[in-house]
Amino acid sequence: MRLDFTAEDQSFREQVRSFLKERLPREIRDKVLNGIELARADYVLWQRRLHDRGWGATGWPVQFGGTGWSAVQQYIFEEESAKAGAPRMIPFGIKMVAPVIIAFGSAAQQQKFLPPISSGESWWCQGYSEPGAGSDLASLRTRAVREGDHYIVNGQKTWNTLGQYADWIFCLVRTDPQAKQQSGITFLLIDMKSPGISVRPIELLDGGHEVNEVWFENVRVPVENRVGEENRGWTYAKFLLGHERTNIAGIGGAKRELARLKRIAAEERKDGRPLGEDPLFAARIARIEIDLTALEITNLRVLSAESGSRAPGPEASILKIKGTEIQQAISELMMRAAGAYALPMRREAMEAGWQGPAYAATVMGAYLNQRKLSIFGGTNEIQKNIIAKMMGL
């Protein structure tokens, strides 16, 4: 694999930059670059503009509406989008359930679900974790009992991200309680407007409503919305989790936030000189930058493997571990740079009429929110076990 960019790659980069300059709304860009929360309409507007350009599904095969880009082109697009302040693609549809539908779904499911995902017409969320079934996901208890042409679903999902916006949810449900844990699970696609579904918000430390509990009470799901075979959902779930862990690494966003941290360190002063000139602080920034560069190379290797139709291997877990550690380290240094200005909560500060540095109003919320990165998608401790097992250690 080449570690430099060809003339064709550089030409593509300029094409992406030109598109972002012309089509990325300024108000959305400013929100992203300043760490301000985006609304559902912001994500949808940007997804539709990408779709109109033919870039709504960058990683999909061409026959399903994808771009046909190489791994390097996908990387360049993600990097330039993050740098420019474009919203990240909400991963649950584009990067999580869509690859499962492409790999294991029926032709009818592919025709029904994939185009609205690419166009931004349908918003998906994830129904995996349950109370008592997080890292030990195979112990989930949400039941689905088949009655004729439908499954009747009862149970609870938790830590459901942005489900308050969702049109559809992909769920793991238990269809054979007598089988061993991994063997009795089925993968269902469920309309969030179905009678019997209720979404209850979970308020986070920063006061935000990002995650939810989702309850199912005798929800009827057509059998045609089952992906693959009954009781083989664990196979599809593992495939999806590989893609999720790759995406959690957030390398493009980490590069953008690292550049922001450097700007802050150049502005803030300690003992009469810029904070960035403090040897200890500068050394911590350098350490992060070295780790991030190494992670970029690993990310390109994973993308190359995916383009060769191989599901992500232990590299996905490596990306998840290091990517989340780097993002958390950057948020911690942001807090240190802001000092006492980082104390107020974001929403409280904004409501009170913030008087401190503009960047500092959001760093506390970001720091607290990103504590979860090393937990969701499978805790980093679990990822280390996966790496050891897959490599025979």
CATH number of the domain to which 193 belongs = 2.40.110.10
Last residue of a domain, one of 73, 89, 105: 89
Last residue of a domain, one of 62, 89, 116: 89
Considering the domain boundaries, does residue 94 fall inside one?
no
The one catalytic residue in 79, 210, 244, 268 is 244
Q: What is the pLDDT of residues 233-245, one digit of tens each?
A: 999 988 887 665 5
Check if 244 is active-site: yes
What is the count of structural domains for the chain? Answer: 3
Considering the domain boundaries, does residue 214 fall inside one?
yes
* pTM to 2 decimal places: 0.84
Task: Report, as ranges of residue numbers, the positions in the chain whose pLDDT lies below 50.
Answer: 1
Listed residue (243, 219, 223) closest to 103, CA to CA: 243
Considering the domain boundaries, does residue 182 fall inside one?
yes
Indicate whether 260 and 178 sit together in one domain: no
Indicate whether 182 and 214 sit together in one domain: yes
Indicate whether 50 and 152 sit together in one domain: no
Range of the domain at 208: 124-232
pLDDT at residue 182, as a whole number: 85
